[in-house]
Amino acid sequence: MAPGMPERYQGREEVRAGYRAAWGASPAQPQKIHDVRVHESIDPEVITVEQVVVGTVTTTGQAFSFPVLSVLRVRHGLIVHVQDYIDGLRVARTMDRPAAVVAGLGASQTEAQKP
């Protein structure tokens, strides 16, 4: 989970608002999604989607390509829940922010040690 981002989005409007806010605040601007593979599950409401998001980091001009795994719950044709999984260290390196990740890990350990 990225700092400041919710663990999951619930409901259509929360999904829309969350994605707009996340991508809008990021210098990583996606331009296309490809290699989309949808996997059904034994729960008829749940699907897993593999995809690759490709774009550019606006602050550096560096291209990126991140594989993303999304788990979605769809009810009556509408997304009611989505949770994404992405390689956070790869994203941090692309965004030239590995130090921020290391600092965040230290903060997480400090918080975990509090009584």
18-31 per-position pLDDT tens digit: 888 877 777 888 89
Residue of 109 and 78 predicted with greater confidence: 78
Question: Which token pair is 98?
Answer: 């590995």
Distance of alpha carbon 96 from alpha carbon 59, whole angstroms? 10
Distance of alpha carbon 103 from alpha carbon 81, whole angstroms? 30
Supply the pLDDT for residue 2.
Answer: 57
Number of H helices, E strands in the chain: 3, 5
